[in-house]
Amino acid sequence: MSLPPKLIARLQFLARVIDRESTHLRQTDQRLFASKFGVEDAKRLADDADLAERVEAFVSRFGRLQDTVGDKLLPLWRQAVGETPGAMIDNLDRAERLRLLASADAWLTLRQLRNQMIHDYIEDPLILASALQSAHEHLHIITGTASALLEDLRRRGVELPG
């Protein structure tokens, strides 16, 4: 596969970023969910700085990885394979049809969860606890999609780290 050097360099950069972001997210996930995060934990956030920092790190890293994969890697992947990137839903649907993404709908649901984790936790510990648990349980959708897109590029001859 012959690609412009700038595109290869950008894909290589994103592969390194995604590897680092995935590692950090998994580490934070393990620390935050060492025991089940529940409503009582969410209620303690104002008084437990360590727990609050772990929640903030998880939410930030979750959102950042999802943005990196969905907003940056996926359109570049389409370009690299000779397709024209489209709107996010079109890119997600294409990845789903090629079985590089389990479900475009699930991806969009995770975006909604991110918004709940960012905005709604201020008012409702139940919403935050539920959103965090769901994000934790479905983290594999984001990390799996990233891995599948990068592996597809490698199979096509693009030299990527990892």
By the 8 A CB rule, do 103 and 95 touch? Answer: no
pLDDT digits (tens, 9 = 90+) for 31-88: 999 988 999 999 999 899 999 999 999 999 999 999 999 999 999 999 999 999 999 9
Decide: 160 and 150 in contact? Cβ < 8 Å: yes
Domains in the chain: boundaries: 5-155
Q: Share the mean pLDDT of the chain.
A: 93
Which pLDDT does position 94 carry in this prediction? 97
Sign of CA dihedral 55, 57, 58, 63: positive
In sequence order, which residues have a C-beta less than 8 Å from that of residue 40 and are 6 or more positions away?
A: none
pTM of this structure: 0.92
Q: How confident is the model at residue 139 (pLDDT cuts 50, 70, 90)?
A: very high
